Amino acid sequence: MQRTAVITGASRGLGEVISTYLARSGYDLVVTARRAEPLEELANRLRKHTRVIAIAGDVADAPHRRDVVGAARELGGLDVLVNNASELGPSPMPKLAEYPLDELRHVFDVNVVGPVALVQEALPLLRRRRGLVVNITSDAAVGAYEAWGGYGSSKAALELASRTFAAELRDDGIAVVTVDPGDMRTEMHQAAFPGEDISDRPLPETTMPFWAWLFAADPMGVTGRRFQAQGDRWELAS
């Protein structure tokens, strides 16, 4: 049976790395991101390896989520859902006590409501294939770093939602994990440190050994767990 994966935030950085790995591993792909041009460029590169449907849009928008799941259905089903799309919030990042509430709502819409809603939308397909959901988190979810309160609290909420999904969906054969990819040299990380040199951070490709391990693992053997994609020890205490 041909496997299919959905990756959000796929056009650059970590999303591009995961999409490339899965395409080369033989998965059909639905890739999505907000910016259409780089997304289509990625899709064209990956079409050398597999079938790819690219749909530009925002995971915070319900019609877009329906289109993404509909594309997976068109490809035959859904085995892996990677909720990688994230919203950092304002840059420079404000302290939580001064955070504009409309911006905070948007951060939560993208980082929490979007992934939860996408899992809900995709549940019939995930049940059929006993699929794996991968939610991308951050050490900011547990670090309480100054000025990271908006982004970090959204990722903390996503982690709790992920553990709850893992418990609720176990009997359906659906596995849910969270992955902290670590500091990386990406566009979003640069936005978190405007004007600073982040060239000492590793490129997202450094996480490739982890993804090779995760996607080969028994999903029900890892469900409910929290991982870090860099370092010698991948699993972290929740």
Q: What positions carry a catalytic annotation?
A: 151
Cβ-count burial 5-22 (b if 16+ within 10 Å, e if not): bbbbbbbbbbbbbbbbbb
- The rounded Cα 140 to chain-centroid distance in angstroms is 15
Assess contact for 232 and 210: CB atoms under 8 A: no
Residue ranges of the alpha helices (H) in the chain? 13-24, 36-46, 62-75, 101-108, 114-129, 140-143, 149-169, 187-192, 208-216, 219-222
The 3-state DSSP class for residue 94 equals: coil
Residue ranges of the alpha helices (H) in 89-227? 101-108, 114-129, 140-143, 149-169, 187-192, 208-216, 219-222
38/227 Cα distance (integer angstroms): 29
